[in-house]
Structure 1
Amino acid sequence: MKKLMLSTAAFAMMAGMAMAQDVVRLGTEGAYPPWNFINDAGEVDGFERELGDELCTRAELNCEWVTNDWDSIIPNLVSGNYDAIIAGMSITDERDQVIDFTQNYTPPDPSAYLGMSEDVDVTGGVIAAQTGTIQAGYVAESGATLVEFATPEETIAAVRNGEADAVLADKSFLAPVAAEDADLMFVGEDVPLGGGVGMGVRESDGELRETFDAAIQSMKDDGSLNEMIKKWEVSSTFE
């Protein structure tokens, strides 16, 4: 794959512009392992914590982390509660009408169905998904009956307690759940959705978007982003 090589001078210039902000606040959900979660010390952890910290270091930004419920994560970015979303958010045309995205920092991650029986009808049954996700939108148009929940954990619980026949979510999120529970299994075919995962910023913050774009590109160019993806097993790697 051809890569865009940014000069050191251009990268430094964009980082300098972003430094006009004393603190850049990064908003995440904190409930979607291995992408982001709260560890035993009560701190944001996971792939996106490590990634966000590295991007801020490369861009010479002073960053702090903020957690926010998924269903209001875009409105609270727009209203100024934080400056960027880094929360396993897939890039979609619908979201891009409200906020801007950086380039993707992971390729599209396949979505998958998880149920308690191999006989689940994923096209006509009751399928759980987290509210406001690309999976919920897909289920709503698939012919299946959609039941939405505010958190990822609630979608899994719905399958376990019989409220739903299966859940549709990122396969990287579901794989550890399936590995730890012998009653749960992948069913049906994987579903390719979205354009990869990127950082969301306000449409008025073009300079900040360009700064993070440059930092993401530098990690792609030196291979460190692929190594981080492999470490956390959140996605396939970039070619």
Structure 2
Amino acid sequence: MKTLLLATAALTLGATFASAQTVRLGTEGAYPPYNFINDNGEVDGFERVLGDELCKRAELTCEWVTNDWDSIIPNLVSGNYDAIIAGMSITEERDEVIDFSQNYTQPDPSAYAAAMEDVDLEGGVVAAQTGTIQASHVAESGAALIEFATPDEAVGAVRNGEADAVLADKAFLDPIVGESGGDLMFVGEDVLLGGGIGIGLRESDGELKEKFDAAIQSMKDDGTLNALIAEWLPGMAQF
């Protein structure tokens, strides 16, 4: 899903799960259907339902915290929350700074969306959210990368002609393209990036990792994780 610039997160400040009575779950709240803020001002989406169920199975008391994407890993490391559940792909770059649970989704296809079919995806201007695996892919593809703080702004760059196309998770783009009335369309080939989504954790929190790993595995084993994927992420490969 997404990748962060990690230089500011390299310093671990020693906050641990063991000292916390309540496990704080950090999410962006701006990446539907994975996570978003609903009309009641509450975190909602696939990861809200998943996170609540994981905490129930792990017998944890959890609360949700929202954080801007570009600082979501540094604020985990500094102890502002205890875990990240935010559409975060498991990558080697991230794994050098934080730890991950086992994956709770398969790799999600990324897709290009544009305002017209005849778009040069390798030589044109392609928008992506700052610090994501999509942005890294565009930068390596030969296209001119233009980055934005939020995925909605990246889509907006295509609508206003600032970019030729946008690259993002297909699950995020699908309803936007479908509701655009033909103003946006998928172009080119889907791209598989990352190793699936997992929960991001501090490397010092091995006990919490074990609890979440066991809860995720139990949801895989009894089919409830696949049911959630089918409900929230239709078309995504299941376990």
Same fold, judged at TM 0.5 (above): yes
User: Is 1:108 aligned to 2:70, yes or no?
Assistant: no
C-alpha distance after superposition, 1:15-37 (max 9, x if no partner): xxx78731000000000000000
Aligned: 1:213 with 2:209? no
Query: Alpha carbons of 1:30 and 1:235: their partners in 2 closer, same or farther (altered >3 Å)?
Result: farther
1:237 deviates by 3.5
* Contact kept? 2:26, 2:81, Cα under 8 Å: yes
Superposed CA offset, 1:99-149 (max 9, x none): 000010000000000000100111111000001110001111110000000
Aligned to 1:13: none
**How far does the alpha carbon of each residue in 1:73-106 deviate from its partner, in whole angstroms, 9 at most, with x for none?**
0001001110000000011000100100001000
After TM superposition, which residue ranges in structure 1, 4 or more long, deviate above 4 angstroms? none
Task: Give 1:166's aligned residue.
Answer: 165
Look up the match of 1:197: 197
Gaps of 5+ in 2: 1-16
Structure 1 Cα separation of the partners of residues 44 and 78 of structure 2? 25
Whether the 8 Å contact between 1:109 and 1:235 is mirrored in structure 2 is no
Aligned to 1:28: 27
Distance 1:20 1:221, change over 3 A: farther
> Displacement of 1:234 after TM fit?
5.8
Q: Structure 2 matches for 1:32-181, cutoff 5 A?
A: 32-181=31-180
CA distance, structure 1, for counterparts of residue 20 and residue 221 of structure 2: 27
How much has 1:235 moved relative to structure 2? 5.8
Q: Number of residues paired by the alignment?
A: 222
Q: TM-score, normalised by structure 1?
A: 0.91
- Residue by residue over 1:146-177, the C-alpha shift from the partner in whole angstroms, topping out at 9 and shown as x without a partner, is 00000111001100001110100000000000
RMSD: 1.2
User: CA–CA distance in 2 between the matches of 1:145 and 1:234?
Assistant: 31
Counterpart Cα distance in 2 of 1:170 and 1:201: 23
